[in-house]
Amino acid sequence: MGKRIDLYDTTLRDGTQGEDVSLSSADKVRIAENLDELGIHYIEGGWPGSNPKDMEFFKLAQHLRLKQAKITAFGSTCRPNVHPKDDHNISMLLKANVPVVTIFGKSWDLHVTDALKTSLDENLRMIQESINYLKERVPEVIYDAEHFFDGYKRNPEYAIKTLKAAVEGGADVIVLCDTNGGCIPYEIPPIVQAVKETLGPEVRLGVHTHNDSECAVANTLMAVREGVTHVQGTINGIGERCGNANLCSIIPALKLKMGLDCISDEQLAMLTNISRFVYEIANLKPWKHQPYVGRSAFAHKGGIHVSAVMKRSDTYEHIKPELVGNKQRVLVSDLSGKSNILYKAKEFGLDIESKDPTVQRVLEQLKELEHQGYQFEGAEASFEIMVKKAMGRFDPYFELGGFRVIVEKRTREEDPVSEATIKVKTPYGSYHTAADGNGPVNAMDKALRKALSEFYPNLAGTHLTDYKVRILDETAGTAAKVRVLIESTDGEKRWGTVGVHGNVIEASWKALVDSIEYKLMRDEEEKE
């Protein structure tokens, strides 16, 4: 490994400025604990004094037993014509009672004169005196040079002066910020080189980039290549506007591509889980195609690709997915070849030879079903049932004796009422029952589970977690065929099933039946 890179996470502060992102103090504590486990060196908790929630987090953080991470408070320099000791923002940073404080100041002369409405010299005074005042009271002070790259491009002499003021104030790290996210990679090296030559090798440099030009990760890596050793970003790149530099891409790039020391191999293997944990806590839908940690990052669909990765994974994978805690996936679709079917069969624990006629039979059935509108990429449970039926290794767990769904609306203002009645026959007996629901599918789902739970009590804890309806032929209007995708869970595992029909109730029924029978099949197999 080469030089050590310090990782500075600002998910809890900069990340929460992103649209649709809101974290409670308790959420922040849980994320901080996970970031510490990941090996992050600095965790920026928020801006004390800006809102009660951030101050509450810093109080809670006093009781955290972190292994290595340092909790950091963020704020600005003192205001124009105000001494740091009289500045409310500075005093709140000290009240946070943390070992590290990060403050930002203006590097772009445009912001000094037009936003702060003060003189260039006064801005230099604010930077130097604020850092000096804090450094006398806090073990470590980091200076974020806001808008540095834009400031340097407009007025390099003044931008460098702001950095020198921070150095003279005693800052431990000088962070060069691409706050507007407008830089592209080739602009970074000459500016970083100029800073290094002016400030000298003893000054430690950091980088903080935004993703407005889709270059935040690349710009960060270019800065590191030029000698920057302190890297700031957020998990999954969440943040204001287009987001921040994505640590879930930066960390594996630093360690696996550039050979730089930042976290251990064991910690790197936690990356995918922590990425998904943050999505869950922030109530955001995971980006399926996210590099390294996305569910589709190592997913293969084309038959030629699958045939190759079965022989050697590096033919179509730039790293081993397990290094970042992810896994290889093979998708099945009308683009599939025999290799896809064999791979999935092996994944299901089924031993099939490539020359077995079952493989060709499944492949033909798969392509015909996808032509009808089925999609098995998000419904692997339905696909497994289909394969086992083709092999003669699946017996239905029940037969339908009939169902009826009634939707009644009495007045224009009242909500409609849905009721489902169902009869089922199982090897253990028959059952006839009914259930109400907030819609026809919900009523049918409840009635079916109610009936089957009499004979299969292990269904009691199973429920739907997602229900999607897709119109397959929009030009057909209300007569269009629909595809229903259902995700279910028993509290431990999740699985997806699919149904397609011109009637949304029938499409939902097909997906529901697969969901329930898959659960029963898996439980039965685990007992054997």
100-106/399-408 β-pairing: unpaired
Q: Which amino acid is at 45?
A: G
| Sequence-ordered list of residues with C-beta below 8 angstroms from that of 256, at least 6 positions apart, any chain | 268, 319, 323
What is the pLDDT at residue 166?
98
Nearest to 34 by CA among 326, 328, 263: 263
Judging by DSSP bridges, how do beta strands 299-300 and 230-233 pair with one another?
A: unpaired
Instruction: List the alpha helices (DSSP H) in 208-269.
Output: 216-225, 247-252, 265-268
How far is the CA of 166 from the CAs of 78, 114, 482, in angstroms? 13, 21, 62
Per-residue confidence (pLDDT) for residue 1, from 0 to 100: 45
**End-to-end CA distance of the chain, in Å?**
48
DSSP string, 382-406: HHHHHHHHHTT----S-EEEEEEEE
pLDDT at residue 345, rounded to an integer: 65
| pLDDT confidence of residue 464 | 85
* Domain 6-263 CATH (choose: 3.60.20.10, 3.20.20.70, 3.40.50.300, 3.40.50.1820): 3.20.20.70
Q: What pLDDT score does 304 carry?
A: 66
- Planar angle of CA 132, 138, 143, nearest 5 degrees: 55
Report the amino acid identity of residue 222. M
The token pair at 301 is 């669909």
Q: Where are the domains of the chain?
A: 6-263, 398-455
The confidence score (pLDDT) of residue 420 equals 93
pLDDT of 71 reads: 97
List the chain pLDDT tens, one digit each, 528 residues.
Answer: 457 899 999 999 999 999 989 898 888 998 999 999 999 999 999 999 788 888 999 999 999 999 999 999 999 999 999 999 999 999 999 999 999 999 999 999 999 999 899 999 999 999 999 999 999 999 999 999 999 999 999 999 999 999 999 999 999 999 999 999 999 999 999 999 999 999 999 999 999 999 999 999 999 999 999 999 999 999 999 999 999 999 999 999 999 999 999 999 999 999 998 998 898 888 888 898 999 999 888 877 666 666 676 667 777 778 999 999 988 776 655 445 556 666 666 665 666 666 777 777 777 777 777 777 777 766 788 888 888 887 787 889 999 999 999 999 888 888 888 999 999 999 999 999 999 988 888 899 999 999 999 899 999 888 888 888 888 765 555 557 888 888 888 888 888 898 999 888 999 999 999 999 999 988 888 876
Widest CA span in the chain:
88
Q: For 323-476, list the strands marked E by DSSP.
A: 329-330, 399-408, 417-426, 429-437, 463-471
Q: What is the pTM of this model?
A: 0.71
